[in-house]
Amino acid sequence: MTEKFAILTQWLRSAALGTTSSQKALVLMSVAFVLAAILSFAAASLAARGIEYVVERDTTTALSDQGLDWAEVATDGLLLTLRGEAASEAERFRAISTVSTVVAAERVIDEITVAPSMEVAAPRFSMEILRNGLDVSMIGLVPADFDTTQVVSRIEAIDSEISVVNMLETASHPVPFGWEQAVSYGLDALGLIPTSKISIGADQVEVTGLAGSERERDEMRDKLTRDRPRGLIASVSISAPRPVITPFTLRFVIDEAGARFDACSADTPEARAAILSAARAAGATGVLNCTIGLGSPTPRWQAGAVEAIRALAQAGAGSVTLADADISLVVPSSVASEVFDQTVGALENRLPDVFSLDATRLPPSDEDILRSEDVLEFVASRSQEGAVLLRGRLSDERLRDAVQSLARAEFGLPAVQMSARLDPDLPEGWPLRALLAVDTLAQLEYGMVRMRPDRFDVSGVSGNESASEDISRVLADKLGQGAVFNLNIRYDERFDPIAMQPTPARCERWIQEILDGEQITFDPGSASIVTGAARLLDKIAETLRECGRMEMEIAGHTDSQGGLEGNMRLSQRRAEAVKAALLGRGAPVGDFVVMGYGPEFPIADNSTAAGREANRRIEFRLIGASAEAAAAERAQAAGAEVEDQTATAADETAAPSEDDLEIVVTEGAGDSPRPPERPQR
């Protein structure tokens, strides 16, 4: 630049020496313009370089502040070029976004390259185990570090004859969290269900299986629900096939207690709907159960059953029993003979030809015979304490020994007392009926079976919901057509091993029932539990030990007397004292939380002494996963009841699907109502 200026100066000097004054002025003006242009260009160049320097400095600083030192910046006037190798697309985007805070985005030229990724995302590991009896197949993708030989060993331990086909593939990725506990739970389900498909993921297990009966299905479902690990999503779908019913039995009764089924079998959903509709027309109420099964002796079963129920309804009292194709209609002497004759005649004309009818009207003297002191009978009874008494008449010593041996085999040697006397003039068939009486008594938790020459009476309590149906089927088969028998069997869930298996909802209800009878009390104004409450705490601890681990809240409540802050502290300390007392008794309360609510949630009037005493209480409430499991259990039970009520109410308009399972919800077997939920503190 300086060299050019010197040449220009020398030229101007030469020009000035050889020109006139006017020419000199023109030259000087030209020189001035040239100098101004040169100076403007120089100033612009300096300004552009200054701007480029500032932009480069500011963008480099911004990138450095964001930890993006790998990015290189180059400026060319108003344009800015970004270069370098980003570790990922996300890093590249961060660099462009950072630079755009300094320079307008349209002035940024992106020449950043992204390093190729060497890390492959882990696949979703899953395993599916199929079992059909002794044949097991394993399919899926599992972590390479997972010990599949241990899985095979656990499966082979189910049965020594079991065969395992291992088609699992592996991938070299870490074992995901929760995988091992999910596999363990799935293998437990596999061992429980002989015909099953177990789909296992790290956070979810789906169990699909087939049970041999509805009772077996319920038992499997309860156990899998109870054993589900915390945090694992488990879907359990177990179905039961239609049972094979033999003999195919239906027994409908109308007596002082009303109209009811002692047993009911149907071969199709349409037959079930028609039979239940006829029963309701005959006066039956409530939830009615009729099992859809295999073994119907004729396609006309529906017609025969419906006509038999209608005939009994016309008679007004008695019982009708269908055992395969044999029908026995028995009415008491209170039914007029002309009504009986008309009913039997009409039934004989309407029944399909395949059925055989035996109709009996009990004689008027029947009640007198029953009251007679010298009546021929054999009675087998069992008390609530388990004592079994066999009395009445048996034909000979050999029969007496056989009956006593059978009773001892069923109830145990010390429980049986034999008081029957020998009578060689008993009716034909007495020995088999006496053995049947003992065998029937074994189906009851306690009760009585009274056998007479012309009738068989069974009464008592059972923990089997289908006891009446099962006993009816056996008696109809063993006693033969025309036999008269009466059943009065009550279901009690306390003796039902399925209903009494601990679940969160049942455990909460059992504890509430304990506290309904007696509350945990404390010394006045203190968190010290009174000595008399030890027995109550023992019962609660025993229940909790049977139930196993759960999540519960122990809530302390006070009355409204005293200050709010003091009552809140007192209720908290009392709840903590109860937890400590249960822990000392070996109850699994590690997952329990304690909460003092003070007087916030009264259940009675604080203005009375009785109300204040009721408000001073300890409550147990399910929380967390246990509360969710209990809600699901209640919803399932309610859904089953609604489904059955809907099906029976719509008998004449719709029939259930063939795949539907019959579920009976017995009154009194459900959970007790829950109090309103408290807001979380």
Domain 249-362, CATH class in plain words:
alpha beta
CA 658 distance to own-chain centroid: 23
Answer whether residue 473 shows pLDDT above 50: yes
- Residue 645: the pLDDT is 53
> Whole-angstrom Cα distance, residue 319 to residue 71?
95
> Whole-angstrom Cα distance, residue 446 to residue 461?
6
Question: What is the β-pairing status of strands 388-394 and 356-361?
Answer: unpaired
Q: Is 561 helix (H, G, I), strand (E, B) or coil?
A: coil
Give me the long-range contacts of 405-408 (CB less than 8 A, separation at least 24). 406/435, 406/438, 406/439, 407/380, 407/438
Return the H-helix or E-strand segment holding 350: helix 337-350
Question: What is the β-pairing status of strands 416-418 and 388-394?
Answer: parallel
Q: Which amino acid is at 378?
A: F
The pLDDT tens digits of the residues spanning 271-280 come to 999 999 999 9
Calculate the average pLDDT of the chain. 83
User: Which one is predicted more confidently, 260 or 51?
Assistant: 260
In this prediction, residue 659 has a pLDDT band, given cuts at 50, 70 and 90, of: very low
In this prediction, residue 658 has a pLDDT band, given cuts at 50, 70 and 90, of: very low
Beta carbons of 187 and 155 less than 8 angstroms apart: yes
Integer Rg of the chain from CA:
44
DSSP β-bridge partners for residue 239: 210
Tell which residue, 648, 637, 644, 645, has the closest CA to residue 660: 644
> Whole-angstrom Cα distance, residue 321 to residue 152?
52
> Whole-angstrom Cα distance, residue 267 to residue 275?
11
Question: What is the β-pairing status of strands 378-382 and 326-331?
Answer: unpaired
> Whole-angstrom Cα distance, residue 293 to residue 54?
90
Q: What is the pTM of this model?
A: 0.54
User: Tokens 């027309």 map to which residue?
Assistant: 281
Mean per-residue pLDDT, 261-270? 93
Percent of the chain having pLDDT more than 70? Answer: 83
DSSP β-bridge partners for residue 320: 252, 329
Beta carbons of 540 and 514 less than 8 angstroms apart: yes
Q: Which amino acid is at 38?
A: I
In this prediction, residue 355 has a pLDDT band, given cuts at 50, 70 and 90, of: very high
Return the H-helix or E-strand segment holding 510: helix 504-517
Beta carbons of 200 and 126 less than 8 angstroms apart: yes
Lowest mean pLDDT among 60-64, 121-125, 407-411, 429-433: 121-125
User: Tokens 């399925």 map to which residue?
Assistant: 498
Q: What token pair was written down for 371?
A: 């009251």
Return the H-helix or E-strand segment holding 10: helix 2-17
Answer whether residue 441 shows pLDDT above 90: yes
Answer whether residue 251 shows pLDDT above 70: yes
Which residues have C-beta within 8 Å of that of residue 591, sequence separation ≥ 6?
Answer: 549, 550, 551, 552, 624
Lowest mean pLDDT among 100-114, 411-425, 508-522, 659-673: 659-673
Cis peptide before 247 (omega within 30 of 0): yes
Return the H-helix or E-strand segment holding 195: strand 195-201
Helix residue ranges, H only, 264-319: 269-281, 301-315
CATH architecture of the domain formed by 126-239:
3-Layer(aba) Sandwich (3.40)
Lowest mean pLDDT among 148-157, 337-346, 368-377: 368-377
> Whole-angstrom Cα distance, residue 359 to residue 620?
58
Helix residue ranges, H only, 588-623: 609-615
> Whole-angstrom Cα distance, residue 554 to residue 581?
12
SS3 of 227-247: the string is CCCCCCEEEEEEECCCCECCC
CA 174 distance to own-chain centroid: 32
> Whole-angstrom Cα distance, residue 321 to residue 331?
12
Domain 367-495 bears CATH identifier 3.40.1520.20: yes
- Residue 490: the pLDDT is 92
Mean per-residue pLDDT, 262-273? 93
CA angle 361, 364, 366 (to 5 degrees): 90
> Whole-angstrom Cα distance, residue 428 to residue 131?
52
> Whole-angstrom Cα distance, residue 224 to residue 128?
18
Lowest mean pLDDT among 25-34, 61-70, 274-283: 25-34
Beta carbons of 280 and 314 less than 8 angstroms apart: no
Neighbours of 554 (CB within 10 A): 22
The pLDDT tens digits of the residues spanning 121-134 come to 678 899 999 999 89
In this prediction, residue 83 has a pLDDT band, given cuts at 50, 70 and 90, of: confident
- Residue 8: the pLDDT is 54
Domain with CATH 3.30.1340.30 in the chain: 2-114
Answer whether residue 651 shows pLDDT above 90: no
Beta carbons of 80 and 109 less than 8 angstroms apart: yes
Mean per-residue pLDDT, 574-585? 92
Answer whether residue 556 shows pLDDT above 90: yes
Cα dihedral 526, 529, 532, 537 sign:
positive
Q: Is 295 helix (H, G, I), strand (E, B) or coil?
A: coil
> Whole-angstrom Cα distance, residue 479 to residue 467?
17
User: Which one is predicted more confidently, 658 or 406?
Assistant: 406
CA angle 466, 239, 625 (to 5 degrees): 95
User: Tokens 């139930």 map to which residue?
Assistant: 547
Which residues have C-beta within 8 Å of that of residue 338, sequence separation ≥ 6?
Answer: none
Mean per-residue pLDDT, 496-522? 85
Buried b / exposed e along 605-628 (16+ C-beta atoms within 10 A)? eeeeeeebebbbbbbbbbbebbbe
* DSSP at 616: S
Tell which residue, 456, 403, 473, has the closest CA to residue 431: 403
CATH architecture of the domain formed by 2-114:
2-Layer Sandwich (3.30)
Beta carbons of 615 and 566 less than 8 angstroms apart: no
In this prediction, residue 661 has a pLDDT band, given cuts at 50, 70 and 90, of: very low
Q: Which amino acid is at 286?
A: G
* DSSP at 294: B
Mean per-residue pLDDT, 229-243? 83
Neighbours of 56 (CB within 10 A): 15
In 558-628, DSSP assigns E strands to: 593-598, 617-622
Beta carbons of 197 and 208 less than 8 angstroms apart: yes
- Residue 205: the pLDDT is 93
Percent of the chain having pLDDT more than 90? Answer: 41
Looking at domain 501-681, its CATH superfamily turns out to be: OmpA-like domain (3.30.1330.60)
DSSP β-bridge partners for residue 389: 381, 417
Domain with CATH 3.40.1520.20 in the chain: 126-239, 367-495
Phi and psi angles of residue 284, each rounded to the nearest 5 degrees, phi first: -70, 140
- Residue 642: the pLDDT is 53
- Residue 47: the pLDDT is 54
